[in-house]
Structure 1
Amino acid sequence: MTNTAVESPAPRLVDRKRFLIRLTVVASGGMFIDGYVLGIVGPVIAAITTDLNMSVYGEGLIGAAALIGIFAGGPLGGWLADRLGRKPMFTADLAVFVAGSVLQFFVDSSWQLFLVRLLMGVAIGAEYSIGWPLMAEFAPARLRGRCMSFAEVAWYIGFVAAFVVGYVLMAVDADWRVVLGTSTLPAVLLFLGRLGVPESPRWLMNKGRVREAERIANTYIEDAADRADITGEQQRRGTFGMLFSPQHWRATTFISVFWFCTVTPYFAIATFSASVLSQYGLGEDGLVGAIGVNGVALAGVIVSCLLIDRIGRRKLTIPQQWVCAVVLAVIGLWASAPPLVILACFLVFAFANAMCTALTGVYPGEVLPTEIRGVGTGFATAVSRVGAGLGTFLLPWSMQALGAGTTMLIAAGVCVVGGAVSQVLAPETVGRNLNEISSAGDR
């Protein structure tokens, strides 16, 4: 196959830069509502527990419901996106989320709330394995890291916004159902913004729809080198088993373990940060500390987003995990430390953890080929949510039964595993085209 069609003058039907900005915004919007949905539980969990007469285990289950849904939705959404296309799934999964978000206004039992948030989690999981692959397949190599990591910026903005909105509404005695249901508005706006987004030209090329792929590439992709790289797509059928083939098992292992070890301690600590920090004497309800932890995390992911295409992936992936392990170990071992020292350690953890978290969605979209990019991202999402769900579910119990010190040491151990695996398996992908990266296999 030649590059002639792709290299021909592109029709000026759209402003390509404006399209890239739009795609980045609507793809990242899915991460915003993900962060919002997961974060909004924190401010209202006490009210839900009291109103629905839940135990500490029920509290953890409601906190983890969306994460459990993501576990199922990630692989399912990725599989469907690889089979049916990125475009139809890009709007279908958000329609499911909107429906679940509306249902939150009407729940009146803990099991109803659990099932509704489980459904929303399925939609969010699909979002991970659809939005990031679509973004990777349109973004230019020179900006791909920034475009994809911006989704994590949006996630933290959503998480922090949820805390602010939640605490403000609870302060004026709003019903917790109304607080949870506020996710409906951004979801509806995002659904409307996604209408008309084109299909991925790489997916089309992989399916043998060459003319359609070239037309979309010529219309929407600015860099000639990126358009030419699309012609290198192989027309292959992807299978789940390919993730564990000799060519791809290293990539699958890395993205899954790295993601698991990065998000597990953060979800556990951040979801219940107000109650965790209050146990260390940081205010009556820990609100200031909670906002501080999540605000600093937002700053950390912004720094990574700005640097990712300049200094590379590994420098933003490996050192930060070791820093997280150290500061959590300090918290765990120094039980009598002054509250301000504990707060400083939590803030350092939040900043460093967020810096490497910015890479969790970038790597799957880069290291896997088009035919398994969706299902591979979904698998890594599912693995990560096993850890995040367990952390969120078990943290209230662990703080009560094992104590804060032991809980923090366990979290530090998770960070050590992530740092060690990343040290060995994390590739450097900055500036490389997708075919070059995925064909490198296990280097």
Structure 2
Amino acid sequence: MSDKGLNKLYIYKIALVASIGGFLFGYDLVIISGALPFLEADFGLSPAMKGFAVSSAILGAISGPLVGLWCADRLGRRKTMMLASFFFMISAIGSGLALGIWDFALWRFLGGVGIGLAMMSSPIYIAELAPPHLRGVLVNVNQLSNVIGINLAVIAGYLFSFDGWGWRWMMFSEGLPVVFLVMGLLVIPESPRWLVAQRRGGEALKILERINGRRRAEEELAEINAGLQQEAGGSFREAWQPGIRTALIIGTILMIFSQVNGVNMMLLYAPTIMAEAGVSMGSSAILSSIPVYFVILVCTLLAFPLIRKFSRRGLLIASVSLMALGHLVMALNLYQGWPPMFTLIPMFIGTGAFTLGFAPLSWIIASEIFPTRIRSKALAVVCFFLYLSSFVIAQFFPMLTDFFTRSFGDAAGVYVLFAAVCLSCVWFSWKKVPETKGLSLEEIGRFWQGKGATESSRKNGVPESVS
């Protein structure tokens, strides 16, 4: 597709603002790891309560899509992101002022609701405004912001790693990017596809015209209208119709794989993994994780040209295959007891491969695979299972590691299991995930409708050629 008439600067500004939600997700994920030792000392936390302090935000994220489901359809994508900003801000202030673990966990839970809202609405919003040939790159801006948030959280955690109010300033620091998000949301437009669904075509045309010029805007508006007329009304029952049901299952399973593949645990527990292996940089456990987080930042930048050049499925399969290799190398490393610094190599392979392909592509595919009318509902279901699986794996990873270490003398078996999960994902991606690169959202919607007609015909005994 030609870039003639395309206002790229305007598109990138919109994507940058929307991706601040991804930044906050990454920042929130890592800042708690820096605060945890100080929370443990101040509140006298048991191991179970330490886990609760971390997982309370994930529990909130599970409920976020359920709240966002209504908001994204009724209020719009932009206002849903604004609501997420509100939850982020009260969480930053409340958790910084917490007097005990229970109110701290409550504020973290509310911040998790903001995460769920933002990570559901931001990819939808970017995908619905992006031209088809730029959609993958622009949705990956969300992943880049996420990784930048992770790296800055490591730095903030180190700067505020002092007794007294140190951990409180870590929590307060999350409020600063929220201010920038709110300011940006005040000036960016609503999703034109949502506006058309609300019968506000005139407003949608003005936004599309600013993005693509008058001629292309009119063509795109006609395509959106035609797509909405062909699609169902958007209820959960309709999301389970043949064809669309297949898209829902594929999106959900792909997102579950994105959480249970083991690489997220490498990121979340990077300081712990390297400290247990004997790797450290200076006296700070936080600093020891910087090489891993720097690698994922570089790989996220490299992912932009890769997403533009290669097919979705091809890059996805290659990425997950390398992740499996990283896990197998880690298992061999632990089993053989190689030098501590060698632990960095499989971590670089696994986390680098994840951020080069699987991490951005899981969100790209999930944000574009569903028809417009049911996109927010379908993505809410997908995000619910994403955060549920994230919560489960975060809770069971330390238990699995402890079990294998006590039973076999090392944790190598954990990484063999993760390698098996990755290889299962390779098979699933090869067999089930369709190629969506370069297709408009309306073309993807028609693809699933055609597949649904084929499935119905098969069920009724009609030959596929006839349907």
1:258 to 2:260 alignment:
no
Give the 3 Å change call, closer, same or farther, for CA 218–176 of structure 1 in structure 2: same
CA RMSD of aligned residues (A): 2.2
Structure with more contact order per residue of length (Cα contacts < 8 Å, sep ≥ 6): 1
1:345 to 2:336 alignment:
no
Identity %: 25
Letter in 2 for 1:64: S
Give the Å deviation of 1:177. 1.6
Give the 3 Å change call, closer, same or farther, for CA 416–172 of structure 1 in structure 2: same
Q: Would the aligned equivalents of 1:63 and 1:393 in 2 still touch at CA under 8 Å?
A: no
Separation of aligned partners in 2, 1:165 and 1:173: 16
**Structure 2 counterpart of 1:36, from 23, 27, 33:** 27
Report Cα offsets for 1:355-394 as digits up to 9, x if no partner.
Answer: 2101122112211111121222222122111222122222
Letter in 1 for 2:45: M
**Structure 2 counterpart of 1:178, from 149, 169, 177:** 169
Letter in 2 for 1:428: E
Separation of aligned partners in 1, 2:400 and 2:101: 22
Give the 3 Å change call, closer, same or farther, for CA 165–126 of structure 1 in structure 2: same
Give the Å deviation of 1:188. 1.2
Q: What is residue 377 of structure 2 aligned with on the other side?
A: 375
Give the Å deviation of 1:55. 2.0
- Worse overlay, 312-321 or 29-38: 312-321
1:279 to 2:276 alignment:
yes
- TM-score norm. by structure 1 comes to 0.90
Report Cα offsets for 1:136-177 as digits up to 9, x if no partner.
Answer: 111111211111111101101101110111012205875212
Q: What is residue 295 of structure 1 aligned with on the other side?
A: 294
1:79 to 2:70 alignment:
yes
- Worse overlay, 188-197 or 229-238: 229-238
* Structure 2: unaligned runs, 5 residues or longer: 406-410, 452-467
Counterparts of residues 15-414 of structure 1 (less than 5 Å): 16-170=7-161, 174-222=165-213, 224-225=215-216, 228-233=219-224, 234-235=228-229, 236-264=232-260, 265-283=262-280, 286-334=285-333, 335=335, 336-355=337-356, 356-403=358-405, 404-414=411-421
Letter in 2 for 1:271: L
Letter in 1 for 2:290: I
* Structure 1: unaligned runs, 5 residues or longer: 1-9
Give the 3 Å change call, closer, same or farther, for CA 339–70 of structure 1 in structure 2: same
Aligned-partner SS, 2:133 = coil
Letter in 2 for 1:192: M
Letter in 2 for 1:306: P
Letter in 1 for 2:387: R
Report Cα offsets for 1:314-368 as digits up to 9, x if no partner.
Answer: 1221121122122212322442122233210111101001121011221122111
Separation of aligned partners in 2, 1:184 and 1:273: 25
Separation of aligned partners in 1, 2:372 and 2:193: 7
Report Cα offsets for 1:244-303 as digits up to 9, x if no partner.
Answer: 321122222222222222233233221221111111121276545411112112222222
Aligned-partner SS, 1:408 = helix
Report Cα offsets for 1:209-248 as digits up to 9, x if no partner.
Answer: 3333223322344485465233223144212233332112
Aligned-partner SS, 1:279 = helix
- Worse overlay, 333-342 or 120-129: 333-342
Give the 3 Å change call, closer, same or farther, for CA 227–345 of structure 1 in structure 2: farther
Aligned-partner SS, 2:208 = helix
